[in-house]
Structure 1
Amino acid sequence: MLSRVEWQKKSGKLTYVDLGVTRGKPEHLASGWIYGIPDTFPNQIPDSWYTDVGFRWGKGGGGQLGRPGQRGWVVSLDDYKGRLASALTNYKTCRAVGADFHINVHDLWGTDHAGGKTGKWPGDNGDFSDYDRFVRQLMADVAPNMDVSHVTWDIWNEPDIQPYFWVRSAQQWMDLYIRTHKAIRANPALDKMKISGPVIGFAPGPNNAYWTSWLPQAVGNKTIPDYYTLHLLGGLGDIAYNPQYALGSLNNLLTKYGAPSRQVFVNEYAAAAEMVPSSYIWWISRLERHNLFGMLANWLGGTQLHDLFGGLLTKQRDPGNYTATDYAPAAGYPVYKYYGSSMTGLRANTTGSADRWLDVYATIGSDKVRILAGVKVHTGTYAVVVRNLSAVGYTPNASVDVVTWSFDGESTKKITGEPARRGTTSYRVVDDAITIAVIQTANHTGWAFEIDVRI
């Protein structure tokens, strides 16, 4: 009969933390989100809510603002200015807490007010003149009002997700991308600003015509962006949207078309069903392992889109009251706070489970080894094997006390407290390793394990 550990290994339910291999200091690569920042400055959310999660990057452009004077360039210059004001206040908030800012340019244009298939889109009838005026205006507004070394221009969002952000041909969008990239790079005031693209909604692959058409054209026109962007918003078990496989697919395309490597930015990650601690931890773990920059997707709407950190926060009384300031943590905030504030020192090498449901992120601090473990919206019996304990001072056959914490929130609307201490379990070192059981009975629960450092 197989032992439990042997069965878990055979079933693909083991993850590994190797304390003998480190990967540099924590940089909170997954601590960002799109929108989620109130359009006020100084910001109505106190700075500590940002800094405690190690906030690295935000993104905005006035999306879903619908009042006259806030509907985007496609309606009028004044409506563009209303959306620009939103973007500028979000930028100021990001910089005030040390984060970089990405401009959601399609929202400044106003795709949500463009009128659908019968409306007005850049390049209609081969005429980009109005769009070119828009780009020149935005460049003129960005250069004196932003530190462009901390800004990224996101050329156009999800042209393949029709009819929401684009309702014209793929080639018309590619023409837009190429002319925008060239216009930005011809402007010396924006030399230090980064460009991201292609911002395609579906995952890269040999059968995705947007990717296989855009990439050779970007290479041929010398318009490769500074960041390759991925949106990973698929189904829970859809392997194409798993960062490991999406990155592999992208690299295959880069090789095929002779494109240079770049930093990959997953500037939207996690589907709506994944806004729970188990999944947040899974995404953090995957992004960190592959050194991918990440911004959490935002599935809220209306004024809540411009508030609540994309669902990491709620409010004591009414989260729909935009001007209220009684902020409180929702399900995900304690996870990101632990990730951003407690996980210090050096990142340890990790391996996710072979069945792809459990993943881990670990750091070795001066006081403790800290491990986050998340079974992505799934249940079952799993385990974390911690190897090379001698690297943190444990001798053969030593006893290792592991303190377990649980993150139990299950809603972006409900207030969630601090992680709950679930007790201490002692393990005996065998072959310089211990195996920590993860009994996942509630699919939303996330876990943290702490081990004292003895050197």
Structure 2
Amino acid sequence: MLLPIVALSSLAVVNASPTAQHTRQSSQGTATVDISQTHGPATFLGSGFIYGWPDNGTSASTLIPDYLVTGINFNANRAGGAQLPVGGWATGGFSGYTTRFQSALSNYRTTRKYGGEFILLPHDMWGADGGSGSASPFPGDNGDWTEMETFWAQLMSDLVENDMLDGLIIDLWNEPDGSGFWPRSWDQFLEYWNRATVLVRAGLPGTLISGPAMANAPGLENENWLTWLPSIVGNNTVPDHYSWHQIGAWERCPDLNVPDFNTLLAQFGAPTRPIDNNEYAWPSEQNPANAAWYLSQMERHDIRALRANWAGGSDLHNWMANLVYSNNGTYYPNGEWHVYHYYAGMNGERLVTTASSDTQFDAFAIRQNNDIKILAGTRTIQAPYDIRVTNLSQIGLEENGSINVHVYRFDWNGPEGEVDGRADLGTSTYSYTANELIITLDPPTDSTAYAYEFSGAN
């Protein structure tokens, strides 16, 4: 059916009929998709998570069904034995360290079973897994680095002995800018970083290092970034991957943080490296809408990203960082998993996109031959937004005409709520003009995401 406007909303699709007249929703902003420009093939950069694997001694876990893992094109995990009943090296001694290492080994083997890279968290094996307090020993206390060197010697020996170097990246410490994980001075951390880098590069040549894994994203006035960067340049301890967390609106977004980071790199003469956002999304941001928003941001800036995991204790070691849940041992996907599942099927060349000017709405899009797929969502906002798709002639369409658009909706029933799949809202025919199609997304909740599919000339 041919509709007399170029807007598309969830309400329009549900109620569409041959005689329906649709009133254009007042949009709060516009994201864009340019069919004429691409920036490399889709590699599913956002399909990773921190912890989330059940431990299985030192073996790979088999509890979570394979389809729930392969169905999101899983490619990275980050773990180190945190929040187990025993303390790590600093408080639980060698026995506690061994228990935590075995957990990490199991998680490593599960990750490698699915072909993912494993980011090791030595701070958790040390025992600094949040809330350990200033009374707990930390590397370099009182200027003594002997215990830290002994710890690293043991850890590197165990990594080699257990064949853990393939696909391994080592995050030297987590959130050193937060008192929960590093209740010591910043100068002590800078010295730790330089010493640990030298140890790892000498003991495990070729093994990749990432960092600084700060809780705070880069900013032009952030003193920690302003001192860490010249330190690593001056001491030749630049990591192989730069990393930080991207959590919450207060940390802005990659559209703003990455340009600032590039400015800082140039300011201090630091080389470019791949970027990891090794934890992303606050608990209230883990739902379909925010997943689509975060994935769009990460893909635009070529950031490999791992979902944050907000569980505690043994729950940290399960449920793929709240993408799945289980009842009486039976695992099932929640609504957000279905966003990642759809994302995993977005094969082809990534199209150049922009977020809305308020950065609260974004879209990720791919082109495979003349087929287009778009995934879109807001950042915890229930408001209408537009997607402007330009240069339709690149897929063989006329300057003006009509096009069939297939629409899917992704619903949310909480992290434990089972959702059978995306809602198929059907296909409608929409008019477009001047080589542009306007799609209006008008979500019923602040957690709802959408996908749109259409094709050009055969």
Corresponding position of 1:289:
300
Q: In structure 2, what is the Cα distance between the partners aligned to 1:206 and 1:438? A: 34
Paired residue for 1:337? 341
Counterpart-to-counterpart distance in 2, 1:160 and 1:314: 32
Q: CA deviation at 1:111?
A: 1.2
Secondary structure in 2 matching 1:156? coil
Q: 1:129: which partner in 2?
A: 146
Give the deviation of 1:147 after TM superposition.
4.8
Determine which of 60, 70, 87 is the counterpart of 2:79: 60
Instruction: Look up the match of 1:110.
Output: 127
Counterpart in 1 of 2:98?
81
Which residue number in structure 2 is paired with residue 246 of structure 1?
257
1:424 Cα deviation after fit: 2.0
2:46 touches 2:306 (CA, 8 Å); kept in 1? yes
SS at match of 1:206: coil
Alpha carbons 2:108, 2:164 under 8 Å: kept? no
**CA distance in 2 between partners of 1:258 and 1:366 (Å):** 41
Q: In the superposition, relative to structure 1, how do residues 20 and 337 fare at CA in structure 2: closer, same or farther (>3 Å)?
A: same
Q: How much does 1:25 deviate?
A: 1.5
Match of 1:202 among 213, 216, 224: 216
Q: Tell me if the contact between 2:64 and 2:331 (Cα under 8 Å) persists in the aligned partners.
A: yes
The separation in 1 between residues aligned to 2:435 and 2:222, in whole angstroms, is 46
Contact kept in structure 2, 1:404 and 1:423, CA below 8 Å? yes
RCO comparison, higher one (Cα < 8 Å, 6+): 2
User: Following TM superposition, by how much is the alpha carbon of 1:202 offset from its aligned partner in structure 2, in angstroms?
Assistant: 1.2
Give the structure 2 partner of residue 384 of structure 1: 387
Contact 1:316 1:415 in 2 (8 A): no
For residue 327 of structure 1, the aligned residue among 322, 331, 342 is 331
Which stretch shows the higher mean deviation, 277-286 or 302-311? 302-311
> Which string of whole-angstrom CA distances, capped at 9 and with x for unpartnered residues, describes residues 255-297 of structure 1?
1111111111111111111011000000000000111110111
Instruction: Compute the displacement of 1:299 (Å).
Output: 0.8
Bigger mean CA offset, 83-92 vs 344-353: 344-353
Select which of 51, 60, 68 maps to 1:35: 51
Distance 2:270 2:285 in 1: 33
1:439 and 1:273, CA in 2 relative to 1: closer, same or farther beyond 3 A? same
Aligned in 2, Cα 1:313/1:22: closer, same or farther, shift over 3 Å? same
RMSD: 2.1
Cα pair 1:363 1:370 within 8 Å, conserved: yes
Taking a change above 3 Å as real, the CA distance of residues 158 and 371 of structure 1, as seen in their structure-2 partners, is same
Q: Distance in 1 between matches of 2:370 and 2:61?
A: 36
- Asked if 1:144 is matched to 2:161, the reply is yes
The answer (yes or no) to whether the contact 2:370–2:456 under 8 Å persists in 1 is yes
| Alpha-carbon distance between aligned partners in 2 of 1:223 and 1:254, rounded to the nearest angstrom | 14
Q: CA deviation at 1:50?
A: 1.4
State whether residues 392 and 399 of structure 2, in contact with CA within 8 Å, keep that contact through their aligned partners in structure 1.
no
The question of whether the paired residues in 2 share the 8 Å contact of 1:277 and 1:410 is answered with: no
Q: Counterparts of 1:19 and 1:112 in 2: how far apart (Å)?
A: 45
Report the Cα distance in structure 2 between the residues aligned to 1:11 and 1:248, rounded to whole angstroms: 27
Equivalent in the alignment of 1:46:
65
Is residue 2:454 matched to residue 1:451?
yes
- The amino acid that maps onto 1:348 is L
Decide which of 17, 22, 46 is 2:33's aligned counterpart: 17
- Between stretches 415-424 and 176-185, larger displacement belongs to 415-424
Amino acid at match of 2:185: S
| 2:421 partner amino acid | E
* 2:182 partner SS: coil
The corresponding residue for 1:261 is: 272
* Native 8 Å contact 2:49 2:77 kept in 1: yes
Deviations 1:194-213 (A, max 9, x none): 10111111122233222111
Structure 1 range deviating more: 248-257 or 400-409: 248-257
User: Which runs of structure 2 are paired with 1:435-450 in the superposition (5 Å)?
Assistant: 435-450=438-453
Contact residue 33 and residue 297 of structure 1 kept, 8 A: yes
Q: 1:288 to 1:113 in 2, by over 3 A?
A: closer
Higher mean alpha-carbon deviation, 215-224 vs 10-19, is at: 10-19
Residue of structure 2 in register with 1:228 after alignment: 242
* Aligned equivalent of 1:305: 316
Match of 1:434 among 408, 413, 437: 437
Name the SS for the 1:93 alignment partner. helix
Give 1:73 shift. Answer: 4.8
Equivalent in 165, 176, 181 of residue 192 of structure 2? 176
Following superposition, the deviation at residue 243 of structure 1 comes to 0.8
Give per-residue Cα distances to partners, 1:62-96, cap 9 Å, x unaligned.
000014xx644532111111111111111111111
Partner of 1:321: none
Aligned-partner Cα distance in 1 for 2:6–2:429:
17
| Residues 1:277 and 2:288 are matched in the alignment | yes
1:417 shift after superposition: 2.0
Aligned residue identity for 1:232: Q
In the alignment, the residues of structure 2 paired with residue 48 and residue 399 of structure 1 have an alpha-carbon distance, to the nearest angstrom, of 38
> Normalising by structure 2, what TM-score?
0.91
Q: What TM-score do the two structures reach when normalised by structure 1?
A: 0.91
